Amino acid sequence: MSESITPRPRVAVAFHSGQGHTAVLAEAVRRGAEAAGADVAFVPVGGVSEEQWEQIDAADAVVFGSPTYMGGASSVFHGFAEATLGRYVRKAWADKLAAGFTNSSAKSGDKLNTLNFLAAFAAQHHMIWVGLGLSPGWNKTTASEEDMNRLGFFTGAGAQTPADGSVETVHPSDIATAEHLGRRIATQAATFAAGRAALAGAAPSAAAAPVS
Ligand SMILES: Cc1cc2nc3c(=O)[nH]c(=O)nc-3n(C[C@H](O)[C@H](O)[C@H](O)COP(=O)(O)O)c2cc1C
């Protein structure tokens, strides 16, 4: 009997959230990734411990999340990004998968700038960006605000929560969309791990099944 050489994918969710809205999305990404078979490290980036840095370093995929503040990522997230300079120089995260999510109070609120920044940040680290992988929802007369990807992003998951709302007001569609992103990144991480193992000469016998 051959042994599985495909380990559970390791996903890190590295995010900032000021009032807790983006944290609800981060939890959804975690649930989705775990449902797809990943081990997930959950890392609020306001004060990253040495153990948490090691968890990110060990991850196959990192999902970055930030609220949109002043048309971009928050200063706390930028502080985290700048603290990765040594890893950037060493190319410590090269060829890991990456994905991103954001939340803001306006339907647009210039969120795309935040997702684009997260993608550029990943590219600077030589990471491989994984887009949302959902068609836009809520874009036909027959469509509904309850559709997945109701705000129609491709680059990552974009959510809208009223600025004065509690964490209970994060929209169910946005939560489902973030869960989808978590499943997707875990599935892609497993696929990459299996492919790399195959290229290294060992045929994976039990690659994680794709999750739709
Ligand atoms: C300093 C600051 C700047 C903000 N800038 C924007 C913005 O550019 N666009 C927008 O739609 N909302 C903006 N907001 C609203 C937040 O994006 C929104 O309240 C979000 O839900 C906060 O997420 P969080 O609870 O994870 O911090 C801003 C909020 C703050 C505190």
Q: Please give the pLDDT value at position 156.
A: 98
pLDDT at 212 over 60: no
Q: Is 102 in the pocket of ligand 1 (CB under 6 A)?
A: no
pLDDT at 12 over 70: yes
**Closest CA to ligand 1's atom 5:** 69
What is the per-residue burial (b if ≥16 Cβ within 10 Å, else e) of 7-29? Answer: ebbbbbbbbbbeeebbbbbbbbb
**Closest CA to ligand 1's atom 19:** 163
pTM of the model: 0.93
Q: Is residue 112 part of a domain?
A: yes
Confidence bin at 205 (pLDDT 50/70/90): low
How many domains, in total, are found in the chain? 1
Q: Hey, what are 28's tokens?
A: 């959804």
Q: Please give the pLDDT value at position 3.
A: 45
Helix (H, G, I), strand (E, B) or coil at 161: coil
Q: What is the CATH number of the domain that holds 78?
A: 3.40.50.360
Of 203 and 143, the one with more pLDDT = 143
| 3-7, 28-32, 198-202: least confident range | 3-7
Q: Is residue 20 part of a domain?
A: yes
Q: Please give the pLDDT value at position 70.
A: 98
Residue type, 18: G
Average pLDDT rounded to a whole number, residues 85-93 = 98
Q: Hey, what are 35's tokens?
A: 């449902």
Q: Is residue 4 part of a domain?
A: no
CA distances from 35 to 2, 9, 49, 98 (A): 25, 12, 26, 18
Q: Is residue 170 part of a domain?
A: yes
Q: Is residue 177 part of a domain?
A: yes
Q: Please give the pLDDT value at position 7.
A: 74
pLDDT at 76 over 50: yes
Q: Please give the pLDDT value at position 46.
A: 97
Interval 137-154: pLDDT, tens: 999 999 999 999 999 999
Confidence bin at 201 (pLDDT 50/70/90): confident
Which of 19, 29, 76, 104 for a ligand 1 pocket mutation test, highest count of atoms within 8 Å of Cβ? 104
Q: Which helix (H) or strand (E) holds 193?
A: helix 172-199
The answer to whether 15 and 26 have CB atoms below 8 angstroms apart is: yes
Interval 167-181: pLDDT, tens: 999 999 999 999 999
Q: Hey, what are 133's tokens?
A: 């992988």
Q: Is residue 53 part of a domain?
A: yes
The length of the chain, given as a count of residues: 212
Beta bridge partners of 10: 39
pLDDT at 134 over 80: yes
Q: What share of the chain is helix, strand, coil (3-state, %, to 5)?
A: 40, 15, 45
**Closest CA to ligand 1's atom 20:** 104
Q: What is the DSSP letter of 12?
A: E
Confidence bin at 6 (pLDDT 50/70/90): low
Q: Is residue 205 part of a domain?
A: no
Interval 98-124: pLDDT, tens: 999 999 999 999 999 999 999 999 999
Residue type, 104: S
Q: Is 162 in the pocket of ligand 1 (CB under 6 A)?
A: no
Tell me which residue range forms the domain holding 150: 10-199
Beta-carbon contacts of residue 156 (< 8 Å; ≥ 6 apart): 99, 100, 101, 102, 115, 118, 119, 131, 132, 181
Q: Is 171 in the pocket of ligand 1 (CB under 6 A)?
A: no
